[in-house]
């Protein structure tokens, strides 16, 4: 079974530039999460999808961040414009409907904003 796929793995951009991250969850997993992980910290939730519906985006900085999950499968997270403080690892995770707290994480995209 393929795991959660993310691309790109690394991205370096200059501040004020846009950037997008892509995630393909495990097949059949209804719930998809985007997390941000700063160095030396635990992941922090940005947004959670149940199928194609964003059911929790309370921690998504909506002035510059946006996300979509068309057709309830893969998802894109965008930042526009990026700021220096956005440098972090962006993790995508998915969960099977009915499971407890088992989330399956992708390898993440390491973003560096110069």
Partner 1 sequence: GQSLEQPSEVTAVEGAIVQINCTYQTSGFYGLSWYQQHDGGAPTFLSYNGLDGLEETGRFSSFLSRSDSYGYLLLQELQMKDSASYFCAVRDQTGFQKLVFGTGTRLLVSP
Q: Distance between CA 103 and CA 30 in Å, rounded? A: 11
Binding mask 28-67 for partner 1 (x = CB under 8 A): -----x------xxxxxx--x------xx-x---------
What is the nearest approach in angstroms of partner 1 to the Cβ of residue 58? 7
Asked if 25 touches partner 1 (CB under 8 A), the answer is no
Asked if 22 touches partner 1 (CB under 8 A), the answer is no
DSSP assignment, residue 46?
E
Q: Distance between CA 65 and CA 85 in Å, rounded? A: 13
Cα dist from 110 to 13, 51, 52, 70, 77, whole Å: 11, 26, 25, 24, 13
Binding to partner 1 (CB under 8 A) within 61-100 occurs at 91, 93, 100
Cβ proximity to partner 1: between 79 and 108 the closer is: 108
Closest alpha carbon to 24 in 67, 60, 76: 76
Residues binding partner 1 (CB under 8 A) = 3-4, 33, 40-45, 48, 55-56, 58, 91, 93, 100-108
């Amino acid at each position: 079974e393929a795991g959660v796929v993310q691309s790109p793995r690394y991205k370096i951009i200059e501040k004020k530039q846009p950037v997008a991250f892509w995630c393909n969850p495990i097949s059949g997993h209804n719930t998809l999460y985007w997390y941000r992980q700063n160095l030396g910290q635990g992941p922090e939730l940005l947004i959670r999808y149940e199928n194609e519906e964003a059911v929790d985006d309370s921690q998504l900085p909506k002035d510059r961040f946006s996300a979509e999950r068309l057709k309830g499968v893969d998802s894109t997270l965008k930042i526009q414009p990026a700021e220096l403080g956005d440098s972090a690892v962006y993790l995508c995770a998915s969960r099977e409907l009915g499971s407890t707290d088992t989330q399956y994480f992708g390898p993440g995209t390491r973003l560096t904003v110069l």
